[in-house]
Amino acid sequence: MTVSSHGGNIVKAARKAREYTQENLAFQYGKSKATLQNWEAGRTTPSFDDVAGILAMLHFTVPQGIDLVQNN
């Protein structure tokens, strides 16, 4: 699994694990709710830096973020 091809799924899994709403996470990360929705739905792809930044903000490492998706 690569971060670039599954970034939206990683963001979604990390967000849910920390019990954030899309709106709250988007606001705290400085993106629009629509951007987050598009990432999670697979309509657009977040950059590696965005995925890593969100994971860090939620206190996950990149490998932990990948594990969240693979284990669900």
pLDDT per residue as tens digits for the range 9-21: 999 999 999 999 9
Please give the structure tokens belonging to residue 14: 């990390």
Helix (H) or strand (E) holding 9: helix 3-17
Read off the CATH number of the domain in which 21 is found: 1.10.260.40
Burial (0-12, 13-18, 19+ Cβ within 10 Å), 19: exposed
Which residues, in sequence order, are CB contacts of 23 under 8 Å at separation 6+?
A: 33
What is the number of structural domains in the chain? 1
Q: What is the pLDDT of residues 32-53, one digit of tens each?
A: 999 999 999 999 999 999 999 9
> Which structural domain, as residue segments, surrounds residue 31?
3-70
